[in-house]
Structure 1
Amino acid sequence: MRSLVLLIASLFFFCAEAQAAPKLLWETKGLAQPESVVVDPATGAIYVSNIVGAVMQKDGNGFIAKLSGEGKIVTRQWVKGLDAPTGLALYDRTLYVADIDQLIAINAASGEIVKRYPAKGATFLNDVAVDAEGTVYVSDTPTNTIWRLKDGSFEPWLANDKLNGPNGLLVQGDALIVASLGKIPSVGQKQELAGLSVVSLKDQSVAPLGNGKPIGNLDGLALLQPGVFLVTDWAAGALYRVDSKGKAELLIDLNQGSADLAYLPDKKVALIPMMLDNSLVAYRLE
């Protein structure tokens, strides 16, 4: 009987631990409309894009901040003179930054801008993703377009209204996973929720992920584990876990403005820019 009681107690303790709520580890304040975050696996440094002003205004006020792995600000304006930098992606020591109508390549070691790729006709380049071969994909949210940088050429790759305001991007095998913004409630615009889509990298076909049920006004997208994703809802302020069937589970209730996150699987830590709070938060997901 004593063994049975201990077994039941152990199972209860295990289940309680497995369902433990995400824990806030730290918060870095003093940023300026942070939109996206990426971690450098070579150095552990954290890079954060800061819009500083109107989202689509070419004012030269935007910058990239460099933080330590513990969230301490190392250089607040590590790269400055940008306009409204949003999505970030790091590949082969190059940091790619979406900045309204251009993709900017930055040397991750020095912080020097090495190349600017203009996107003529783009309205608001938003998120950036890179595949294993170094091909770069960038979402242009208002025009339902995905741009692609390949072999030095940066051009529209896919324009499809099924994308419904493409925002967060993630390459998974032969597919591009897209988190859609839908429509944020504003003057003269009714709110429209959106979900996740799967774009074939071979034939550019677009299909909903799983049941295709709308989740929210989605922003950031990261892989939690194979077939399971983390997404942020900018308008509602939330972090969701979404499985391959499209089922969404609320993990964290956040303030409005939760933007383009990063996830560190080895530490089980999600880094989330809180755009309207001017901060970056780190949560451990148990």
Structure 2
Amino acid sequence: MTLKPLATTLALMCATLAGAASAAQPLWQTDAVFRTPESVLPDTQGERLFVSNIDGAPNDKDGNGFISLMGKDGHVQQLEWVTGLNAPKGMALVGRRLFVADVDVLVEVDADSGKIVARHPAQDAVFLNDVAADAQGHVYVTDMLLNRIYRFDGKALSVWLDSADLTNPNGLAVSGDTLYVACWGVMNPADFSTEVPGHVKTVSLTTKALSDYGSAAPIGNLDGIEMTPGGRLLLTDWMAGGLLSVAPDGAVSKLDALAPGSADLGVSADGKTAYIPMMKDGTVRAFSLDD
């Protein structure tokens, strides 16, 4: 992926920087042992983190992809824990089932054994990216290139929302009856560049009503998105790099600059730690948050 200077300049000019939010404090960084790490997800049981590794091009069906296990202290427990994937990206847990977006398939994994138990094809999918689950166990998956969100209801995976207004949706997070969408911005599929970077949108889980979160002002080429227990919305900007916090009025605070390639973050259950995969560096970084 290459970055056009115009996109960076516009994102910095249009994003409103609020000084109220405190900066994130670095805790640790792993060695460069991962292979294109795209997403980190804390396990709801124990002290483990799941890390998805694309290990190749983000849309290649090459069989190289895998999921790693690591401790919340940054120690890698098993590099190739789940294998037999192509280009795994976002993940979500429903009970002890780990759901993984893998190009055009939602892969279901036993979160205890690491065994793949099912593969759910997404009709016409091109670039499945992030995954989130609601309180009822429904699983939502973005297709970044098709401006589409799929939903798995436990039996079937089908198109749930199809709208150009999603502006190349990347990350997903659920809080209450709202789905939060980190939008990349309308992009050139050849190199993922944008003239106008994306911002955060919300979707009602009951009505599917689509709205801007606070403001339609560009923020960045957004990747990961998480809502902390304290109500802080956290984002990562893949192209420019950065861990961001966005207020309900749309005001943006940069908590850490990071480097380009900062991807789909995970947040601890207490909201006090953020785990960020650095796709270009092959590392995972952890930060302390004041939620």
TM-score normalised over the length of structure 1 = 0.90
Residue 241 in structure 1 maps to residue 245 in structure 2: yes
Q: Does 1:23 align with 2:25?
A: yes
Give the alignment of 1:202-217 within 5 angstroms: 202-217=206-221
Going from structure 1 to structure 2, the CA distance change for 1:188 and 1:156 (only over 3 Å counts) comes to closer
Query: What are the Cα deviations for residues 119-144 of structure 1, in whole angstroms up to 9, with x where unaligned?
Result: 12001000000011100000000110
In the other structure, the counterpart of 2:12 is none
Match of 2:280 in 1: 276
Equivalent position amino acid for 2:39 in 1: S
Matching residue within 183, 191, 215 for 1:180 = 183
- Provide the C-alpha distance between the structure 1 equivalents of 2:270 and 2:193, rounded to a whole number of angstroms: 41
SS in 2 for 1:162: helix
Q: Distance in 1 between matches of 2:69 and 2:124?
A: 31
Correspondence for 1:77 among 75, 80, 83: 80
Return the alpha-carbon distance in structure 1 between the equivalents of residues 131 and 166 of structure 2: 15
| Preserved CA contact (<8 Å) 2:275 2:286 | yes
Q: How does 1:1-286 map to 2 (within 5 A)?
A: 21-29=23-31, 30-183=33-186, 190-264=194-268, 266=270, 268-286=272-290
What per-residue deviation string (whole Å, max 9, x for no partner) do you get for residues 27-61 of structure 1? 11210110001111212211000000111000000
CA distance in 1, matches of 2:163, 2:121: 21
Superposed CA RMSD in Å reads 1.7
Structure 1: how far apart are the matches of 2:121 and 2:74?
A: 32
Matched residues in 2 for 1:112 and 1:188: separation? 33
Provide, for residues 95-133 of structure 1, a one-character-per-residue CA deviation record: whole Å limited to 9, x for no partner: 110000000000011000001000120010000000111
Gaps of 5+ in 2: 1-19
Give distance in 2, aligned partners of 1:49 and 1:217.
Answer: 20
- Please give the secondary structure, in 2, of the residue aligned with 1:143: coil
**Structure 1 residue runs of 4 or more that deviate by more than 2 Å after TM superposition:** 18-22, 183-192, 224-228
Name which of structure 1's ranges 246-255 and 223-232 shifts more when overlaid on structure 2.
223-232
- Kindly indicate whether the alpha-carbon contact (under 8 Å) linking 1:240 and 1:249 is maintained by their aligned counterparts in 2: yes
Which residue of structure 2 lines up, in the alignment, with residue 11 of structure 1?
Answer: none
Q: Give the 3-state SS of the residue equivalent to 1:237 in structure 2.
A: coil
Q: Give the superposition deviation at 1:225.
A: 4.4
Residue identity in the other structure for 1:87: G
Question: Which 10-residue stretch deviates more, 211-220 or 261-270?
Answer: 261-270
Cα separation, partners in 2 of 1:267 and 1:132, compared to 1, 3 Å: closer
Question: How far apart are the structure 2 equivalents of 1:134 and 1:219?
Answer: 23
Cα distance in 2, alignment partners of residues 44 and 34 from structure 1: 19
**Structure 1: tracts of 5 or more residues without a match:** 1-17
The Cα shift of 1:188 comes to 9.4
Structure 1 residues 190 and 223, CA gap change in structure 2 (3 angstroms): closer
CA contact (8 A) 1:267 1:284 kept: no
Q: Which has the larger radius of gyration?
A: 1
How many residues are treated as equivalent by the alignment? Answer: 269
Does the aligned pair in 2 maintain the 1:105–1:116 contact within 8 Å?
yes
Contact 2:229 2:270 in 1 (8 A): no
* Matched residue SS, 1:192: coil
User: Conserved in 2, the CA contact under 8 Å of 1:105 and 1:115?
Assistant: yes
Corresponding letter in the other structure for 1:194: G
Judged with a 3 Å threshold, the aligned counterparts in structure 2 of structure 1 residues 188 and 134 are, in CA distance, closer, same or farther, namely closer
TM-score by length of 2: 0.88
For the Cα contact (< 8 Å) 2:52–2:67, is it kept in 1?
Answer: yes
Higher relative contact order (CA 8 A, sep 6+): 2
| Superposed displacement of residue 21, structure 1 | 3.6
